[in-house]
Amino acid sequence: MNTISYAVSSKHLTSKIVHELLFSITKRQFIKPAISDKQDGKLIYKLLPGNYLKFSLFVLKKSDYAKFEISYIHIDQSLNVDEKIIYEVEIAFSIIKDIINDINAPYTLAEFIRMIPDYHKVTYVSINENYEMAEDTMQILDTIKRYLGKKVISQ
């Protein structure tokens, strides 16, 4: 079966962080990349035709600024990629960092934040095989939007 190479960024530098991961809509979990390119700070996926979500976080550490995005990615049978941003929010990085300690945080969002790469490294994607995702993808998205919406209002 044909696959396509798709690269995302994964860098934790002195003043900024770029953290992107792909999420399988069918499996309802983050996907392990085929290749982790530590030199360029890239994760390279080998993707089959289907639907995916890309979780993205861009951080400027000194200004306590973060931009979080979720993009919808569709790969058709001809391996054409259609990508569009379906949600984005600007928020303080200090709030983003605290999500992993918040018991009310959506599980998928907390997992994404937990996998932010260590300083001068790329992300290691760990798959929690024992966790059964009860929510469908639309519920996951709605939960994340509501949760972050409340966080933005409170900042």
- Confidence check: pLDDT of 29 > 70: yes
Residues 129-152 have pLDDT tens digits of 545 555 678 888 999 999 998 888
Helices (H), the chain: 93-98, 107-114, 137-154
**What digits encode the pLDDT tens for the residues 81-109?**
999 999 999 999 999 999 999 999 998 99
At residue 29, φ and ψ (nearest 5 deg) are -160, 160
Residue-wise pLDDT tens digits, 106-134: 989 999 999 988 887 778 777 665 455 55
**CATH 3.40.50.2300 for domain 4-154:** no
149 phi/psi in degrees, rounded to 5: -60, -45
Q: How far apart are CA 142 and CA 155, in angstroms?
A: 20
Cβ–Cβ under 8 Å, residues 44 and 38: no
Instruction: Sketch the domain layout of the chain as residue ranges.
Output: 4-154
- 43 touches 35 (CB < 8 A): yes
Q: How many CB atoms lie within 10 A of CB 123?
A: 23
Mean pLDDT, the chain, whole residue set: 88
